[in-house]
Structure 1
Amino acid sequence: MLAAAKVDRGDQISECRELATVKTEVGCGENHKAYRAIKACNLDFEAAVMERKLQLQELEEIRIEAYESSRTYKEKSKIIHDKGIMRKQFHMGDKVLLFKAKFKFKHGKLRTMWDGPYLVTKVYPFGIVELIDEKSGQSLKVNGHLLKLYHEHFHPS
């Protein structure tokens, strides 16, 4: 239907050009010729309105489809990203290492970034872990993101 409407519209435009250039009978003024040309071009105003409405509806459908596509892409990429994240779960009695989060100049190549081992005494909700230093007996609460499990008998070969 749209293709037929476009062809008819093209025919109307060519007719309008012909009417504008054709000389009318003697006695017709210039205003009358212009009026006839404009009237001939605007004969199918309702069809032009319908065509414009269809174009706007099609544009809206394309926008909604792009929005849905973007949303599904974000969901899939989030699932893939979350698969790669290892969840840390600590239990009472685990030995852990604490990340040294303090910035120091000239850290050195062979200096470790981890402190410990510490003993886990209590695990709170939302990732807070209570630790006790085995050497000094000092107790502290830290964020679970700063910890990693300590493997006591691990010897790399």
Structure 2
Amino acid sequence: MKESLKNKYIHKKIFFIFLFMTQLCFSQIQNSKKDFYTSLDERISIFNENDEKYFLEISFFKECKNETGFRVRMLTVIDTDYSKYKIYKYNGVIILYDINSVKNLKWINFFDSYFKKSKDDINTIFQRGNQSLMFSYIMYFKNKKFIKDTERTHDFFIKGCN
């Protein structure tokens, strides 16, 4: 009888630890996404000071073990190869994800959970050609979670992969 009560107590304890860990993990994911959107909103507010119609282009930058970086550029002129992009929209801003830059297929659909897919005809919205860079920054992810800390992002940007 004592053994049965002891086993029930252990099972309950394990269940609550599991529940706590699940909640903690979910909370970290939510905080990571909140930080991601906050950071993106801050950049977009800077971009909106520009009078020109722009879009954001995201391209794969580098991957080192469990760390990944994406380059985000504000552009007004689109490359002529439209097939290389996944098109998204976020708060009225068109976002093009350059899937040709992706080396590992696991990153192809990475931003599907962050943005709504868009069916905008980018051919008619933006002029075509080449342009000089207007604004660029790096989005840094560790274990697929966005890291907002600019110092850690800078360290990732500079270091080489081992």
TM-score, length of structure 1 as denominator length: 0.31
The structure that has the greater radius of gyration is: 1
Q: Which has the higher strand share?
A: 2
Which protein, 1 or 2, shows the higher relative CO under an 8 Å CA cutoff with sep ≥ 6? 2
More helix by share: 1
- TM-score normalized by structure 2? 0.30
